[in-house]
A = this chain, B = another copy of it.
Amino acid sequence: MPPAQPATLASSAFLRACRRQPVDRVPVWFMRQAGRSLPEYRALRGEGPILDAVAKPELAAELTLQPVRRYGVDAAILFSDIVVPVASIGFGVDVVAGVGPVVERPFRSAHDLARLRPLEPEVDIPYVLETVRILAREIHVPLIGFAGAPFTVASYLVEGRPSRDYALTKALMRTEPALWRALLDALADMALTSLRAQVAAGASAVQLFDSWAGALSPEDYREHVLPSSSRVLEGMAGLGVPRIHFGVGTGELLGLMAEAGADVVGVDWRVPLDEARRRVGPDRAVQGNLDPTACLAPWEVVAEEARRVLARAGPEPGHVFNLGHGVLPQTNPDILRRLVDLVHEEGGRR
């Protein structure tokens, strides 16, 4: 059973907005807010591998808290990485600085399925759960746990590294649909197990990152990906924590991503939020969607674009302000701090 939420958390603007309840102010947080652009992050984390930092609960908790203190955001997101579960069971995944996830022996055939044993959170990722427990004690805003969605994690395992066209991934999907489904379901079960453990340890919401699902046509997504993502999201239903479902370039998939079982659908900057609301339907909240590159402009331009996002989100409840993708490392932290203030001051009652 997840720990009961303190009253202050349950009534937080972030959790209320996720549930499409009225709020006093529009809540805001940033993807990849935990670091990269913050000097105190770079000072504390140093140059070592990210997976090493994730494995140190006190450090990971502090890295999670830094942006909450600096920016005054309405939610914290766990400092971790979507490949942590597959790496923890020994699949041979490394996160290389300046590259991304690199897999020593990529997934290529049915033989590789045996390398994906079920995740045992208390054995495989005890440090993640310890980080969540530390944060649940210390934090005054909701903590967002997360997992990589089956397609996006599979794309790394199959390609062996970040890809532009996902050629090997999609070839496997079309050529060996049964093996593909077994791979995605194994990854779905790992994601579900990880998310449930994070909630049991104290996370107040979860986000499923299907960052690269936008590479798929709606037909391919519906046939080859949605069932496994739904396995994760439906498996998280009834736990009392909002489920956010996010991807990049997913304009044509927003309705299907809602259908997969999301309470909140993340939207990148390509689809205005009024149109996104039409696509996800009235039963879901939306999260987004300022272009991360907008934060590299002078403040007046940032402010104008942020106001446009608030205006497009409209007066109805159910908007969590965010960027359309992660914070770029070269972003000036002062811009993000001012952005949080603007959203709080101008994104009023709704």
Contact = CB atoms under 8 A, between A and B. Distances in A.
Interface of A: 165-167, 170-171, 174-175, 214, 216-220, 249, 251-252, 269-272, 275, 291-294, 296-298, 301, 308, 328, 330
B298 A217 contact: no
A175 B275 CA distance: 27
B174 A301 contact: yes
A169 to B, nearest CB: 8
A272 B217 contact: yes
A181 to B, nearest CB: 15
Nearest to A324: B217
Contact of A175 (B269, B271, B298): B298
Contacts of A296: 167, 170-171, 174-175
Contacts of A165: 292-293, 328
Given A308-B219, A328-B165, A270 B252 contact: yes
Nearest to A292: B165
Contacts of A275: 252
A100 to B, nearest CB: 11
A156 to B, nearest CB: 16
The copy count of this chain in the complex is 2
Closest 9 CB pairs of A and B: A174-B297, A170-B293, A171-B296, A251-B251, A217-B269, A174-B301, A167-B293, A252-B270, A175-B297
Contacts of A271: 252
A272 B166 contact: no
A217 B291 contact: yes
A293 B269 CA distance: 26
A272 B294 CA distance: 30
Given A175-B297, A291-B220, A167 B270 contact: no
Contacts of A170: 291, 293-294, 296
Given A175-B297, A175-B298, A251-B252, A217 B167 contact: no
A329 to B, nearest CB: 10
A178 B72 CA distance: 35
A278 to B, nearest CB: 13
B218 A297 contact: no
A143 B133 CA distance: 66
A103 to B, nearest CB: 19
A48 to B, nearest CB: 24
Contacts of A270: 214, 216-218, 249, 251-252
A291 B166 CA distance: 11
A282 B217 CA distance: 23
30 contacts: A165-B293, A166-B293, A167-B296, A167-B330, A170-B291, A170-B293, A171-B296, A171-B297, A174-B293, A174-B294, A174-B296, A174-B297, A174-B301, A175-B296, A175-B297, A175-B298, A216-B270, A217-B269, A217-B270, A217-B272, A217-B291, A218-B270, A219-B308, A220-B291, A249-B249, A249-B270, A251-B251, A251-B252, A251-B270, A252-B271
